[in-house]
């Protein structure tokens, strides 16, 4: 998940935050940060990458004559891998053989194993005053460390970056040039498995048949009283925000935004097949601001909010499925609780997809969870940074079973809310 948040709680973080929610450091004052925010709000800074305009949800800020940009949004567009270590408060940016590590509020960075001084450290900054900060890193330092060329147009206030190799090839998912490694999850032409779940509200046996990666199934019935309850489906990322990147032999073979959208469309079809009412936040490759997503869901009076994502980690060994939730007081008005929804969907995914169970996790800092009125969850299906997970994600079977499992979990929890 691609924007890093920090919950603004004055009692706990008064020593490092000012009243505007700015994480200051020993090398920059709160006044300098706030001044940079205000100036750039009036005179915005533009970003160009290899001649194309890059729009980031959190705008660039100039502090002490240094341009600070959101860590993930810009460099992942370039093809770099951006990681975040919550425990160490570290940002890592990897492009080709270059590797940069920056620690929040520290005046040194590590570039290809060598410690280097920073004129301005990485910071967590709340640019819009909503109490949630974005991880901002110095553009020129990181770009130079990745062997990029950086130019500044003072008249138009535009920072232009040329990546070290503008001839990098993005290999299509179905390209015959990429060898897809067989894994234990690879599908045969036709496989069949049957499972009976006596807890299904409709008491219907569940049969899944896969043929060339496409799942044909019978979902439980949805109670007629629930068919007008609007289920908001959010395909994470999109447009200029690709999300995590999946690579094979140094070539990008999958972007998170495309697999998220494919799964969301399939989930929409499954839910409609049982008569559910749905609302897709995006149906194509378009950008939606992070704060706009919960606003859109609230504006259409959503009853449930399901965000579709896939994961990435610094270590390629990390793998599996996890679901995030946040228990809000408002959930009592719906008779459905996000924790129960998260668990029901995770249980279905683990059984149907056979991936590692990473559990459900409470995450109050994520905007789509804490700013939605209705019960909301974020599903992280698998890791693009893990080779076995990535190979599975390239198949229709993965996407179909992801959507099917989510649909079944949603129907189960909805039906239970009526019967309890």
Mean pLDDT, range 347-357, rounded to an integer: 95
Position 184 in a domain? no
Domain range for 232? 190-419
> Within this chain, do residues 153 and 226 fall inside the same structural domain, yes or no?
no
Contact assessment for residue 54 and residue 72, using Cβ atoms and an 8 Å cutoff: no
Bridge partners for 361 per DSSP: 324
Task: Please report the pLDDT score of residue 131 as a whole number.
Answer: 66
Higher confidence at residue 2 or residue 293? 293
Neighbours of 19 (CB within 10 A): 11
> Within this chain, do residues 231 and 320 fall inside the same structural domain, yes or no?
yes
> Within this chain, do residues 230 and 155 fall inside the same structural domain, yes or no?
no
> Domains in the chain: how many in total?
2
> Within this chain, do residues 114 and 194 fall inside the same structural domain, yes or no?
no
> Within this chain, do residues 303 and 405 fall inside the same structural domain, yes or no?
yes
Position 172 in a domain? no
Task: Please report the pLDDT score of residue 381 as a whole number.
Answer: 97
Instruction: Indicate the pTM of the whole model.
Output: 0.54
Position 174 in a domain? no
Q: Which 3-state string (H, E, C) describes the chain? A: CCCCCCECCHHHHCCCECCCCEECECCECHHHHHHHHHHHHHCCCEEEECCEECCCCCCCEEECCEEEEEHHHHHHHHCCEEEEECCCCEEEEEECCEEEEEEECCCEEEECCEEEECCCCEEEECCCCCCECEEEEEHHHHHHHCCCEEEEECCCCEEEEECCCCCCCCCCCCCCCCCCCCCCCCCCCEEEEEECCCCCCCCCCEEEEEECCEEEECCCCCCHHHCCCEEEEEECCECCECCCEEEECCEEEEEHHHHHHHHHHHHHHHHHHCCCEEEECCCCCCCCCCCHHHHHHHHCCCCEEEEEEEECCCCCCCCCEEEEECCCHHHHHCCCCHHHHHHHHHHHHHHHHCCCEEEEEECCCCHHHHCCCCCEEEEEEEECCCHHHHHHHCCHHHHHHHHHHHHHHHHHHHHHHHHC
Contact assessment for residue 304 and residue 336, using Cβ atoms and an 8 Å cutoff: yes
Position 61 in a domain? yes
> Within this chain, do residues 357 and 241 fall inside the same structural domain, yes or no?
yes
> Within this chain, do residues 353 and 211 fall inside the same structural domain, yes or no?
yes
pLDDT digits (tens, 9 = 90+) for 197-207: 323 333 333 33
Looking at every residue in the chain, the average pLDDT score rounds to 80
pLDDT at 19 over 60: no
> Within this chain, do residues 106 and 14 fall inside the same structural domain, yes or no?
yes
Domain boundary among 117, 145, 162: 162
Contact assessment for residue 68 and residue 39, using Cβ atoms and an 8 Å cutoff: no
Position 75 in a domain? yes
pLDDT digits (tens, 9 = 90+) for 276-333: 999 999 999 999 988 899 999 999 999 999 999 999 988 889 999 999 999 999 999 9
> Within this chain, do residues 103 and 198 fall inside the same structural domain, yes or no?
no
pLDDT digits (tens, 9 = 90+) for 67-98: 999 888 788 887 888 888 877 888 888 887 78
For residue 286, the domain's CATH number is 3.40.630.40
Tokens standing for residue 234: 């959010």
Position 14 in a domain? yes
Residue 18 to residue 146: CA distance in whole angstroms: 33
> Within this chain, do residues 368 and 322 fall inside the same structural domain, yes or no?
yes
pLDDT at 62 over 70: yes
For residue 100, the domain's CATH number is 3.30.457.10
Residue 290 to residue 2: CA distance in whole angstroms: 10
> Within this chain, do residues 157 and 196 fall inside the same structural domain, yes or no?
no
């Amino acid at each position: 998940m691609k924007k890093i948040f920090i919950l603004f709680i004055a009692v706990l973080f008064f020593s490092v935050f000012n009243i505007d929610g700015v994480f200051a450091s020993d090398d920059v004052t709160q006044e300098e940060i706030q001044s940079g925010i205000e100036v750039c709000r009036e005179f915005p800074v533009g970003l160009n990458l290899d001649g194309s305009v890059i729009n980031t949800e959190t705008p660039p800020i100039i502090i002490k004559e240094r341009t600070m940009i959101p860590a993930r949004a810009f460099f992942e567009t370039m093809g770099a891998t951006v990681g975040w270590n919550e425990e160490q408060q570290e940002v890592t940016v990897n492009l080709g053989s270059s590797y940069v590590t920056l620690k929040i509020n520290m005046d040194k960075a590590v570039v290809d194993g060598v410690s280097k001084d920073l004129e301005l450290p990485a910071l967590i900054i709340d640019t819009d005053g909503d109490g949630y900060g974005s991880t901002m890193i110095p553009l020129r330092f990181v770009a130079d460390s990745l062997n990029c060329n950086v130019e500044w147009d003072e008249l138009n206030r535009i920072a232009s970056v040329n990546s070290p190799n503008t001839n990098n090839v993005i290999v299509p998912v179905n390209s015959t040039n990429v060898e897809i490694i067989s894994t234990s999850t690879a599908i045969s032409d036709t496989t069949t498995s049957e499972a009976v779940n006596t807890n299904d509200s409709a008491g219907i046996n569940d049969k899944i048949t896969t043929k060339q990666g496409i799942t044909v199934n019978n979902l439980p019935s949805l109670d007629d009283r629930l068919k007008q309850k609007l289920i908001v489906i959010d395909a994470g990322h999109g447009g200029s925000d690709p999300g995590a990147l999946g690579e094979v032999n140094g070539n990008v073979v999958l972007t998170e935004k495309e697999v998220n959208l494919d799964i969301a469309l399939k989930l929409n079809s499954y839910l409609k097949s049982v008569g559910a009412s749905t609302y897709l936040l995006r149906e194509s490759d378009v950008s939606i601001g992070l704060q706009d997503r919960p606003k859109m869901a609230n504006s259409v009076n959503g009853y449930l909010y399901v965000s579709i994502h896939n994961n990435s980690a610094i270590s390629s060994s990390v793998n599996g499925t996890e679901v995030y939730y946040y228990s809000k007081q408002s959930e009592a008005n719906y008779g459905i609780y996000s924790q129960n929804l998260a668990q029901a969907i995770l249980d279905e995914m683990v059984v149907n997809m056979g991936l590692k169970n990473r559990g459900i996790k409470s995450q109050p800092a994520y905007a789509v969870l804490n700013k939605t009125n209705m019960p909301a969850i974020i599903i992280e299906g698998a890791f693009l940074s893990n080779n076995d997970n990535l190979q599975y994600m390239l198949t229709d079977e993965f996407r179909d079973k992801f959507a099917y499992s989510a649909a079944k979990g949603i129907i189960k929890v909805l039906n239970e809310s009526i019967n309890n």
